[in-house]
């Protein structure tokens, strides 16, 4: 089974308010991200909550995914990645890490990453758009122990990616959503104009 871990614990400091609750075409951003994962071929979806966990839980409670709270979310994203991986490590052969603020990734991209993993069994698979790396990132179970040792001081998941640079498989996609970073309200406005015509 391959699990999707959706990171939804951060503060959204640069956004000025909780960006995961911002509406996109009338639906909160986090719902777009989760529903895409649910429509793909992952076996399980786990949401890691933290900041304003209750508010986010309220808007996603009807979705068939596992909701967990990271008690250490204030220490950075690495703690949420570890929290999610720990939840599924005994039952999964790989995990897809998807930030909650990636509402424009489509399910075909997720399916293509999983299919490529099935073909190659590569330890890390990363989605790219025009050669630029984005999300999701698939990590196979052989690297779980390394993931459980990541920290903010050591650059989080980037450290694991760097260490296995030579083994990474890239999946090129025509979905620009894989490289869209939403840190400010302006970023969101631009992305909606570009991607939701």
The tens place of each residue's pLDDT in the chain, 197 residues long, gives 999 999 999 988 889 899 999 999 999 999 999 999 999 999 999 999 999 999 999 999 999 999 999 999 999 999 999 999 999 999 999 999 999 999 999 999 999 999 999 999 999 999 999 999 999 999 999 999 999 999 988 889 999 999 999 999 999 999 999 999 899 999 999 999 888 76
Angle between helices 53-60 and 29-39 (to 10 degrees): 50
What pLDDT, on the 0 to 100 scale, is given for residue 197?
Answer: 62
What pLDDT, on the 0 to 100 scale, is given for residue 155?
Answer: 87
Listed in sequence order, the residues at least 6 apart from 46 whose beta carbon sits closer than 8 Å to its beta carbon are 3, 4, 5, 6, 65, 66, 67, 68, 84, 87, 88
CATH 3.90.550.10 fits 2-195, yes or no: yes
Q: How far apart are CA 82 and CA 87, in angstroms?
A: 9
- Check if the beta carbon of residue 40 is closer than 8 Å to that of residue 111: yes
- Check if the beta carbon of residue 110 is closer than 8 Å to that of residue 36: yes
Query: What global pTM score does this model have?
Result: 0.95
């Amino acid at each position: 089974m391959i699990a999707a871990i959706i990171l939804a614990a951060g503060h959204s400091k640069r956004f000025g308010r909780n960006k995961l609750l911002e509406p996109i075409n009338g639906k909160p951003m986090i719902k777009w991200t989760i529903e895409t994962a649910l429509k793909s071929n992952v076996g399980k979806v786990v949401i890691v909550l933290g900041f304003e966990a209750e508010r986010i839980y309220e808007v996603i409670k009807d979705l068939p995914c596992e909701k967990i709270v990271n008690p250490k979310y204030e220490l950075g994203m690495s703690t949420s990645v570890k929290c999610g991986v720990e939840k599924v490590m005994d039952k999964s052969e790989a995990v897809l890490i998807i930030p909650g603020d990636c509402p424009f990734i489509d399910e075909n991209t997720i399916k293509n990453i999983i299919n490529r993993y099935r073909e190659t069994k590569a330890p890390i698979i990363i989605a790219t758009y025009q050669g630029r790396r984005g999300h999701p990132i698939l990590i196979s179970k052989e690297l779980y122990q390394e993931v459980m040792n990541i920290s903010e001081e050591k650059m989080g998941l980037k450290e694991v990616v760097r260490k296995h640079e030579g083994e990474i498989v890239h999946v090129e996609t025509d979905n620009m959503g894989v490289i869209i970073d939403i840190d400010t309200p302006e970023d969101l406005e631009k992305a909606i104009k570009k991607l939701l015509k």
